[in-house]
Structure 1
Amino acid sequence: MGGRKHRTGQDWKLLREACTTLLDRVPELVDEHLRQLFAYSDVYARVLPYDAQWREAEEAIRIGVETITAPREAPRRDLAYAEEAGRRRAGQGLPLDLLVHAYRNAGYLVWDALMESAGGEPERLKVLMRSATMVWAAVDAQAAAASEAYRATELELRRRTDEQMQALLDALLEGRPAPGLAARAAAGLDLPEHGPYAVLVLRVERRDSRETFHRRVQDPDFRFVWRMRADCEVAVVALGAGRTLDDVAVLLDGRCPGPGGLSPVVRGLGELGHARRLAELALRTCPPDTTGVVRLDQRMPTALVVSQPDLAQRLVSGVFGELLALEPADRAVLLETLDAWLACEGSAGRAAGRLYCHRNTVFNRLRRLEQLTARSLSRPRDLMEMTLALDAYRLSSGAGTS
């Protein structure tokens, strides 16, 4: 706890005598030190058993007193011990401000004891006063060494904890079968093991968009636990009491920076792997120009199509075979008309308004589609086939060349 300034003669002799005398009082100082710490905050008593704290404090104060008169070239045992203490306290969870307070408190006790050892003798008091700066500089150096080691350890512990939590989350989202996984994840992620959850899979290309989106969807009724992946982000959504998937959709509406898929609600952490696969399936139903979040439960027919790509291609070729042989521009006009007519719930007038053409033009295009596909839009089964074929075509790789 001392300085390293070289001293000779009478100053050195008196200072060494004071420190030697003080070593005999270290147990007494430790008792008072711990009494004051426990009175200052009950956190100290919860960190470590009293006997263990006493031994550590005794060693720290003894090393500090011995360092005051240590040769200039001697290793700084006090700083090495302070670094060890900082690492220990970070691992034990003692707040950093209480660690620094402990060093300050020990410094005051040692300094007061040194002053008492002078016995009121003017010469000894002068020596101690000339040593005050170096003693308190040493206390500051010890507190700084302990604090730096504490912060480094805390950062490493946080990194390890984050990695463990991410590993648990990954295991849940992958649906890996492991005994007790859901219970461990619930404890580690501070989530209920059983309860309503949904999974959101979001395709976002820009980082600033991600961060803005995360801020926008903060809501006390929901908790989002995010996991970044190479091509997307995945969020586990914990629904608050009484909240539904409709509430999640309302929260996400207009705030999403890119296409996303939302799973149905599942009833516990153990079902998140299944929910993640359903959310990814919902995302696959999004055409390239989609900017919002789609729900699987509202896109089931399209989800059936995209989940069977081989059958989807056969459906496209079987329904749109002759249509695909047309010139790209001609083909695009007919498919755009069909898409608009379906979006307008079979109203030729509303479709014409959307397409900026006459309603008779819409009728003529639809009749041509019926001729090319050999199907009638007035027959439910034919209409279903054409609707699914249109979805499959738009979501296929060839749709971008239409």
Structure 2
Amino acid sequence: MGRRRPRTGHDWKLLAESCAALLERLPELVDEHLRQLTEYSPVYGQVLPYDEQWREAETAMRIGIETLSAPRDSPRRDLEYAEDAGRRRAQQGIPLELLVHAYRSAGYLVWDALMEGVAGREPERLAMLMRSATMVWSAVDAQAATATEAYRATEMELRRRTDEQLQALLDALLEGQQTPGLAARAAAGLDLPERGPYAVVVLRAERHDARDACPRPMLGAGLRFIWRMRADCEVGVVALGPGQGLDGVARLLDGRCQGPGGISPVVAGLAELGRARRLAELALRTCPPDATDVVRLDQRMPTALVVSQPELAARLVSDVFGELLELEPGDRAVLLETLDVWLSCEGSAGRAAGRLYCHRNTVFNRLRRLEQLTSRSLARPRDLIEMTLALDAYRLSGVGR
């Protein structure tokens, strides 16, 4: 197979003449181009007024034709225009496939017009065009590729800006801002109902990689979660389905999220997410440092009352455990652990002894010593409440340690 003859200066002169003749037919080519595009998809005619479409198509095709016969070291104005066109089409929301199709369609139209201009005449000019085919289609491919790259970069930037705007709306709701129309804008952007049952989950993320705090996306049991990362925690907004309550939230989170964490009570709409977040954070504060559970505030109310009043909590620990705090740390820890286990075993000394690996009489002896040191009786309901709350305050606040 013989080598392809390189294009000569005479070839470039003939190509320039063909392109100049084609530019005289440009208006009819633009009309035909727009007709073909609209026939291919009605979307083309729905984005811009016809006059504006015509001007843009005329500019693109004229620059493309001029580029074919321009000196080899000339700036690629066609690629500059393709980059601008890619950005505009992304901003206008035209699908990328239609943008690429427009470039291909224009390329076929220009090529066919070039061939028609010499068909049956001037064999030398026809041979020149055939030798130039690779260059012509390389130019079209480069234009389409440049437009595509600009389109995708713009689309990514627009998506990033949209995500940032939605995150800002969600953050404003979680901070409890009451700006007029805020909840409605967030509902539209996040595709959530403005009114309806919601809950908020707060997970402590300081003890592990925050990215592993909870898997995303989390859907199930009629629930939808939207997560936001913060410096020391991860916040989840839960949209509850019809008839759903906190039991479904707790079941879904159990075993799928690394705790500790807190779940707020149900609130009636997006405008109340700020209050729900504060209550979820309060539920989280009822979890001791070594906890791994995600707990509901409505099931930790006594403890929540303690941690929400740190000054009173400190006073409660001092009043109830005053003499106990003066013991050696080891002795104090044994007595408080016994009380904690006995309470979790619902006052059963036998079950507590099994968990503590000691005799039930040992449990009784430790509890009697606690009663002596605190001047309180575990048999009296009011005293039992005080000791239970004081134990929570001691474990959660570190008061007296």
TM-score by length of structure 2 reads: 0.94
Amino acid at match of 1:97: E
User: Counterpart of 1:74?
Assistant: 74
Amino acid at match of 1:191: L
User: Counterpart of 1:355?
Assistant: 356
Distance (Å, rounded) in 2 between the aligned partners of 1:373 and 1:193 = 52
Indicate the SS of the match to 2:215: helix
Deviation, structure 1 residue 8: 5.2
User: Counterpart of 1:338?
Assistant: 339
Check 1:273–1:151 CA distance in 2 against 1; reply closer, same or farther (3 A cut).
same
What are the superposed Cα offsets for residues 344-367 of structure 1, whole Å, 9 maximum, x if unpaired? 111111111111111111111111
Check 1:292–1:50 CA distance in 2 against 1; reply closer, same or farther (3 A cut).
farther
User: Counterpart of 2:114?
Assistant: 114
Distance (Å, rounded) in 1 between the aligned partners of 2:138 and 2:378 = 89
What are the superposed Cα offsets for residues 100-156 of structure 1, whole Å, 9 maximum, x if unpaired? 121111111111111111132322211101111111111111111111211221121
Check whether the contact 1:370–1:376 (CA below 8 A) recurs between aligned residues.
yes
Check whether the contact 2:218–2:224 (CA below 8 A) recurs between aligned residues.
no
Check whether the contact 2:64–2:78 (CA below 8 A) recurs between aligned residues.
yes
Alignment of 1:250-261 (within 5 A): 250-261=251-262
Gaps of 5+ in 1: 1-5
Amino acid at match of 2:204: R
User: Counterpart of 2:30?
Assistant: 30
Distance (Å, rounded) in 2 between the aligned partners of 1:265 and 1:311 = 28
Deviation, structure 1 residue 275: 0.3
> Relative to structure 2, which stretch is displaced further, 260-269 or 24-33?
24-33
User: Counterpart of 2:91?
Assistant: 91
Distance (Å, rounded) in 1 between the aligned partners of 2:226 and 2:126 = 62
Deviation, structure 1 residue 72: 2.6
Check 1:335–1:211 CA distance in 2 against 1; reply closer, same or farther (3 A cut).
closer
Distance (Å, rounded) in 1 between the aligned partners of 2:361 and 2:38 = 89
User: Counterpart of 1:286?
Assistant: 287
Distance (Å, rounded) in 2 between the aligned partners of 1:231 and 1:94 = 41
Amino acid at match of 2:242: A
Check whether the contact 2:14–2:128 (CA below 8 A) recurs between aligned residues.
yes
Gaps of 5+ in 2: 1-5
Distance (Å, rounded) in 2 between the aligned partners of 1:207 and 1:158 = 29
Deviation, structure 1 residue 242: 2.0
User: Counterpart of 1:365?
Assistant: 366
User: Counterpart of 1:243?
Assistant: 244
Deviation, structure 1 residue 14: 2.0
> Relative to structure 2, which stretch is displaced further, 70-79 or 361-370?
70-79
Indicate the SS of the match to 1:267: strand
Indicate the SS of the match to 1:102: helix
Indicate the SS of the match to 2:219: coil
User: Counterpart of 2:3?
Assistant: none
The answer on 1:60 being equivalent to 2:70 is no
Amino acid at match of 1:345: E
Check 1:162–1:138 CA distance in 2 against 1; reply closer, same or farther (3 A cut).
same
User: Counterpart of 2:104?
Assistant: 104
What are the superposed Cα offsets for residues 248-288 of structure 1, whole Å, 9 maximum, x if unpaired? 11111122212111101101110000000000000000001
Check whether the contact 1:213–1:256 (CA below 8 A) recurs between aligned residues.
yes
Deviation, structure 1 residue 383: 0.6
Amino acid at match of 2:118: A
Query: Structure 1 vs Structure 2: percent identity of aligned residues?
Result: 78
Check 1:232–1:61 CA distance in 2 against 1; reply closer, same or farther (3 A cut).
same
Check whether the contact 1:217–1:255 (CA below 8 A) recurs between aligned residues.
no
User: Counterpart of 1:197?
Assistant: 198
User: Counterpart of 1:271?
Assistant: 272
Distance (Å, rounded) in 1 between the aligned partners of 2:33 and 2:146 = 20
The answer on 1:46 being equivalent to 2:50 is no
Check 1:232–1:314 CA distance in 2 against 1; reply closer, same or farther (3 A cut).
same
Check whether the contact 1:201–1:276 (CA below 8 A) recurs between aligned residues.
yes
Indicate the SS of the match to 1:214: coil
User: Counterpart of 1:3?
Assistant: none
Check 1:208–1:95 CA distance in 2 against 1; reply closer, same or farther (3 A cut).
farther
Check whether the contact 1:217–1:252 (CA below 8 A) recurs between aligned residues.
no
Deviation, structure 1 residue 197: 0.6
Indicate the SS of the match to 2:262: strand
Deviation, structure 1 residue 96: 1.7
TM-score by length of structure 1 reads: 0.94
Q: How many residues align?
A: 395
Amino acid at match of 1:329: G
Root-mean-square deviation (CA, aligned residues, Å) is 1.8
Distance (Å, rounded) in 2 between the aligned partners of 1:311 and 1:33 = 80
The answer on 1:17 being equivalent to 2:17 is yes
Distance (Å, rounded) in 2 between the aligned partners of 1:307 and 1:42 = 62
User: Counterpart of 2:174?
Assistant: 173
Deviation, structure 1 residue 71: 2.3
